[in-house]
Amino acid sequence: MSKQFLYILNPISGDGVDRAEVSDLLANNLYGVEVTVWETTGKSDDPQKIQQQLKEKQWDGILIGGGDGTIKMVVSAILGTGIPVGIIPLGSANGLATGFGIHGVSDACFAIQKGRIEKVDLWDINGELCIHLSDFGFNAGLVKKSTTMEKRGMLAYAKSSLEQFREMRSYSFVIRANGEEEKVTAKMLVVANGNKYGTGAVINPFGKVGDGKFEVVTVNPEGLDEIIGLSLAMFNDRLEEVDHVKSRSFEKAEIDNPDGADFQIDGEVMPRTDQIKIEAIPHKVNFYSLE
């Protein structure tokens, strides 16, 4: 008997990828799987409608066709079901998919056929769901710049990067965890469940997505040499060799951001945030992964 998969599809996300072609790819590459499509509407009751769909059948898997926004909306709706989730990357940046080693629809099909599942921790940051990476400072400023540019995508990201490098500055942070307080100065502070950004830059080399812990990584390069060295280390996965990078592992923490550094969660820019509280969400999600 075929496995029953619910395919939750955002019809408008990303840069115009042909949905019919994607459906053909899924049909040709997912053997023994019957796919039922349900399209998101973008309205606030999508999560409730998804929960209704979940009751319709005993689903063997859920496919999410969309970008990071769609993935987070669906994940929040299916919490606690334990149904395996396959990401079909149809967003503009697809940071979450990349984090699971999924760079295109073929990768997604391969991950599902292989059936390799990663149990992934979820984190609550001030009431927002964080699956992968959240950060203050340099990168969040970059995300903010690229999302306000008219044309999104990698080119917008590159242009914004240059501008952001010119404006790079340090911020003060206070990290409170395990009854201790640490004051740090950094260009960027990352709350990391995953290992790398959608660009492939590694920020959390030893972090594991399902170990019940997240890492707080601070990065503070001084001058052009250290900035270049840092970029090379991130793209060559040699971050542990860089002196101004420090990583700590926690199950729970609070972070103060008195200088009002920009802040983002999984690629979504947050309003000014002076303090965050990071707590575990008591459910893991089973993602098909190639990492």
Ligand X SMILES: Nc1ncnc2c1ncn2[C@@H]1O[C@H](COP(=O)(O)OP(=O)(O)OP(=O)(O)O)[C@@H](O)[C@H]1O
What does the binding site for ligand X look like in residue numbers (CB under 6 A)?
10-14, 40-42, 66-70, 91-94, 267
Minimum Å gap between C-beta 257 and ligand X is: 24
Minimum Å gap between C-beta 144 and ligand X is: 13
Minimum CB distance to ligand X smaller for 14 or for 205: 14
Minimum Å gap between C-beta 268 and ligand X is: 8
Minimum Å gap between C-beta 103 and ligand X is: 13
Minimum CB distance to ligand X smaller for 13 or for 257: 13
Which residue is nearest to ligand X, using beta carbons? 67
CB 278 within 8 A of CB 254: yes
Minimum CB distance to ligand X smaller for 14 or for 207: 14
Minimum Å gap between C-beta 93 and ligand X is: 4
Q: CB under 8 Å to 191, separation ≥6 — which residues?
A: 123, 125, 130, 133, 134, 135, 214, 215, 216, 253, 255, 276, 278
> What whole-number distance in Å separates Cα of residue 100 and Cα of residue 89?
11
Minimum CB distance to ligand X smaller for 161 or for 249: 161
CB 151 within 8 A of CB 173: no
> What whole-number distance in Å separates Cα of residue 94 and Cα of residue 77?
20
Minimum CB distance to ligand X smaller for 40 or for 289: 40
First to last CA, the chain: 29
Provide the pairing of β-strand 245-250 with 214-219: antiparallel
Minimum Å gap between C-beta 203 and ligand X is: 18
Whether the CA torsion 183, 239, 221, 269 is positive or negative: it is: negative
Minimum Å gap between C-beta 37 and ligand X is: 13
Minimum CB distance to ligand X smaller for 41 or for 48: 41
Minimum CB distance to ligand X smaller for 11 or for 82: 11
CB 130 within 8 A of CB 263: no
Minimum CB distance to ligand X smaller for 26 or for 175: 26
Minimum Å gap between C-beta 201 and ligand X is: 16
Residue indicated by tokens 């334990």: 82
Q: How far is CA 253 from CA 8, 125, 127, 283, in A?
A: 34, 10, 14, 18
CB 118 within 8 A of CB 92: no
Q: How far is CA 182 from CA 159, 193, 210, in A?
A: 35, 20, 26
